[in-house]
Amino acid sequence: MPGVTIRRIDSFPDAKSPEFRQWVEFSWKGRTSEGLEFRTTQAKTWAKLGDGDVCPGLELGLRALKVGERGVVRCSSRFAYGHLGRPAVTDGDTPLCPDSDVEFHIHIHSLGSSLPIGSMTAPERLEEARLKKGAGNDLFKFHYFSGSAKAYSASLQALDGLLGEEPAEVAHSEVVQMIADCGCNLAAAYLKMGMDAKAEDSCVAVLQIDPTNVKALFRAGSAAMNQQKFMESRLAFERLLFLEPGNRAAIRQVRELKLAEKRYRARERTVMRAMGADIFSAAPVSNVEREKHSKESVPDIYADAPKSSNSSLNNGAHDHDKGDLQNGTRRTCMLSLFFAFLVAIASALLAIKR
C-alpha cells in the first residue's frame, strides 16, 4: 500500500493469522524515520482489529503478521499519528512531533475472541468490556478522545442487559463497577471534546445504578455548569460534598460555578438594559408637546387657500389635523405595547433557560 511497507523478521507459515474484528495480543516499539525511539517499552497490549484501537499503520502490520511472528512496519505520518503527534505519558517514552513518519517493530503473542457480542456468554461479554475499556484508556491517555469515546461506548454495549440476567453468571457488583467506570470515562471523553450534553447523559446513566458515584457527580456538575444549567450543577456538587466534604476539586468547581453564575447574571442584566434602552430611549413627551409637534409636522394644505365666509372648509382642515394626531398617538401606544410584549417574552425565555 502506498505510504506503508511491511517486512517480516520471523516467519511461521503454519501459525494462525488474526481475523477481522478479532482481539490480538502484541507488543511493539516505535521509532521515527530518523531512528529516534519514541516508545521503548515492550509491555503487552490488546487491540481489536477493525475497531480503530490503534493507528492505521500499526493495525495493517497486525493484520499481515501471524502468531509468534515479528515484523517492521514503515509508514508515513498519515498512517501513524498525523498532525496530532503523540505525547509522552509513559515512562521511557518521548514526544513524537506532528506529521512524523514512523517505524513500528511488532511482535504478535496470541489471539483472542472474534465472536460477536450476541454470541458471547456473560463472562465473555464482561471480558470484552474489560478489554475495550483498556483500549479506551490507552487512547484517552494519548489525547485521542473520539477514539476513546468509541471504545468506552463499545464496552457499555457489551455490558448491556447483564444486570437483569437471572440467574446471574457474573457478579452483580462487578458489572455495576464496570458500567460505572466506563460511563464515567465516557463522560470525561465527551467533556474533553466539548460535548457537554452527552457527558451529562452518561453521568446520569451511571447515577441511576450508583447514586453515590463521586466521579459521576463531579462530571455531571461540570457538564451542567458548562451548559449554564446552574441549579443542576449546584445540586450535583452539593451531593458530592455531602459524600466527601473535603473534596478539593469539587470545592474549586463550586467557586467556579458561583463566578460563572455571577457572570451570566451580569450579561443578562446588560442585555435587558440594552433592550430597554432601545425600546424606551426617547424621553417622555407631554401631551401639549406631542400635539404641538404633530401640528408642526403635518403640512397645512389649506394655508394658501383663499378665505371663505363659509368656515366649513377650515373646520374640515382642523378636523383632519386632529384625526391625524389621534391616529399617530394610537400607533405610538400600540408600538409601545408591542415592544413591552417582546420584553415579557424575552424575560420568560431567560427564566426558562435558567
In the chain, the domains with their CATH numbers are 1-114 (3.10.50.40), 282-300+314-354 (no CATH)
Query: Tens of pLDDT along 41-67?
Result: 778 999 999 999 999 999 999 999 999
Helix/strand number for the chain, H first, E second: 10, 6
Strand-strand pairing, 70-75 and 45-48: unpaired
**192-201, 296-305, 342-351: least confidently modelled range:** 296-305
90-94, 112-116, 189-193, 244-248: least confidently modelled range: 90-94
- Is the C-alpha dihedral spanning 283, 284, 288, 292 positive or negative? positive
Local confidence band at 331 (pLDDT 50, 70, 90 cut-offs): low
| Encoded amino acid at 242, one letter | F
Q: Which long-range contacts (CB under 8 A, 24 or more apart) does 134-138 make?
A: 134/45, 134/46, 135/46, 135/47, 135/48, 135/51, 135/53, 136/182, 136/185, 136/189, 137/185, 138/45, 138/53
What pLDDT is stored for residue 268 in this prediction? 80
Per-residue pLDDT tens over the stretch 81-137: 999 899 988 877 899 999 999 999 999 999 999 999 999 999 999 999 999 999 999
pLDDT bin (cut points 50, 70, 90) of residue 308 is very low
Mean pLDDT of the chain: 84
Name the pLDDT band for 310 (thresholds 50, 70, 90): very low
| pLDDT reported for residue 348 | 62
Quote the pLDDT of residue 313.
39
Residue 76: phi and psi, rounded to 5, are: -75, 170
pLDDT tops 60 at residue 283: no
Distance separating alpha carbons of residues 120 and 30, to the nearest angstrom: 34
